[in-house]
Copies of this chain bind each other. A is one copy, B any other.
Amino acid sequence: MTEPLKIGLAGLGTVGRGVARIIENNGSEIARKIGRPIEIAAVTARDRNKDRGYDFSPFPWFETPAELAEKADYDVFVELVGGEEGAALEATRIALKRGKHVVTANKAMLALHGQELALLAEQNKAGLLFEAAVAGGIPIVKSLKESLSGNRIERIYGILNGTCNYMLTRMQNEGKDFAEILKAAQEEGYAEADPSFDIGGIDAAHKLALLTTLGFGTVTSFDDVYVEGIENITPEDIRASDELGYRIKLLGVAVKTEDGIEQRVHPALVPKDSAIGEVSGVTNCVCVDGDFIGSVMLIGPGAGEGATASSVVGDIIDTTRQCGDAVFTLPASELAPYNRAPLRAHEGGYYVRLQLHDRPGTFAAIATRMAEYGISLESIVQRHSDHIAGDSSKGSEGDPAQVVIITYQTTEQAVSEALREIEKDGHIAGQPNMIRIERL
């Protein structure tokens, strides 16, 4: 058996627990992808006896992150301690000096010590990966650093803080004021007890500073981010903006100008019907403009146990990757035979447009046939042919009528059979058109 990929896990909070759960649940799949087992080889946290909702007791315990970084036997040091300095920074330096790869979710540490740590990593030929530090589960670091690296980046912007977006969305939906929504968000766990880093824009500014360095190749400069939070947004602002066609979002924006780089985090009005205007709740998004790509936008969960841990584990796997490895995630010889699911079993709603002989009782006949096949109808709408053809002459009775039916969850087979019966009954004047409704 090949030597396993050994993880030293420092910090056993929500994200640490998520990492342990991914390795437990998906470890055998991951092992097939990287060609060796993956295991947690050492852990550390502040309090050994705290109930964490996950049993970390089987793993070798170290007293401090620094001790783990220094003494444990691991391949990848996973830093989930947090904080811009202190234990996280000390342990990261130790691991890098040992030439060990470091995977971190610590935006504050990198925003303030980015270049120093990057130099240390590169001198020691160690990886320093931080997908989880920016926008949680969204693969923006890798996309910017790797996929888009043929471009000159012109602008990066996005919704980088889930707490703020959640609060603004609720203010929008409920018309309540900032303080009331903040209290509710704290009770639900969407805002911290001390929410100042989130609502004051600091957290978004940390992330923006990292995106700026990746996109523009400049030294990470958190102090140069202009920061305004959402504390002064009132329900009146949200309502007035809405009436004028806008939503208020806390944006992070980094843009290349003739005078240098402009980095700013502040509330901004964005058009309601834009993709970014539709990003609501705790969801984050990042948009990148480049000279050849044009624009790409990535939308996804900006925080949370599973999403952030997904990015951490993606980075852990990445430390093992080389060009020439598996083309399609798994080695080609291990790809499973394709097993085709029978499509007729597909369940979903359907849009059905029928051309019918406009006679008394037709509607009832259709509804009855649909019911016979167990199909519930969300709506059934008759559309007169004048309306359909778009001219103004009225259709007369006896002309074919169009009926549009939206069904609830059913099977394609049921709809097809019901339509066949309706056709046999002599109601249908033309070819029915059936389109699936996709539940997203």
A10–B147 alpha-carbon span in the complex (Å): 21
Report whether B329 and A145 are in contact in the complex, using a CB–CB cutoff of 8 Å.
yes
A307 to B147, CA, bound (A): 11
Contacts of A307 in B (CB 8 A): 292-294
25 contacts between A and B (CB under 8 A): A18-B292, A26-B151, A26-B291, A115-B328, A115-B335, A121-B332, A127-B324, A139-B142, A157-B438, A213-B335, A214-B328, A217-B334, A232-B433, A236-B383, A237-B351, A244-B379, A259-B339, A260-B340, A267-B436, A268-B435, A268-B438, A269-B436, A295-B301, A296-B298, A296-B300
Total interface residues on A, CB under 8 Å, equals 153
Q: Does A6 contact B (CB under 8 A)?
A: no
Contact stretch, chosen from A66-74, A308-316, A356-364, A391-399: A308-316
| A22 interface residue (CB < 8 Å to B) | yes
* A335 in complex: contacting residue of B148, B217, B237, B274, CB < 8 Å: B217
Is A29 an interface position by the 8 A CB rule? yes
Rounded to whole angstroms, the CA-CA distance of A340 and B383 in the bound complex is 60
Protomer copies: 2
Interface residues of A in 11-45 (CB under 8 A from B): 18, 21-22, 25-26, 29-30, 32-33
Q: Are A437 and B269 in contact (CB under 8 A)?
A: yes
Q: Is the CB of A146 within 8 A of B321?
A: yes
Given A137-B293, A299-B296, residue A351 in contact with residue B246 (CB < 8 A): yes
C-alpha gap A335/B217 in the complex (Å): 5
Further contacts, 8 of them, CB under 8 A, given A25-B291, A270-B438 = A118-B328, A175-B390, A217-B328, A226-B343, A251-B438, A290-B310, A297-B299, A298-B299
- Contact check, A149 vs B340: say whether CB atoms are below 8 A apart: no
Q: Which of A218, A236, A331 has the most CB of B within 10 A?
A: A236
Residue of B nearest to A76 (CB): B323
B143 near A440: Cβ-Cβ < 8 Å:
no
Q: Which residues of B contact A139 (CB under 8 A)?
A: 139, 142-143, 146-148, 296
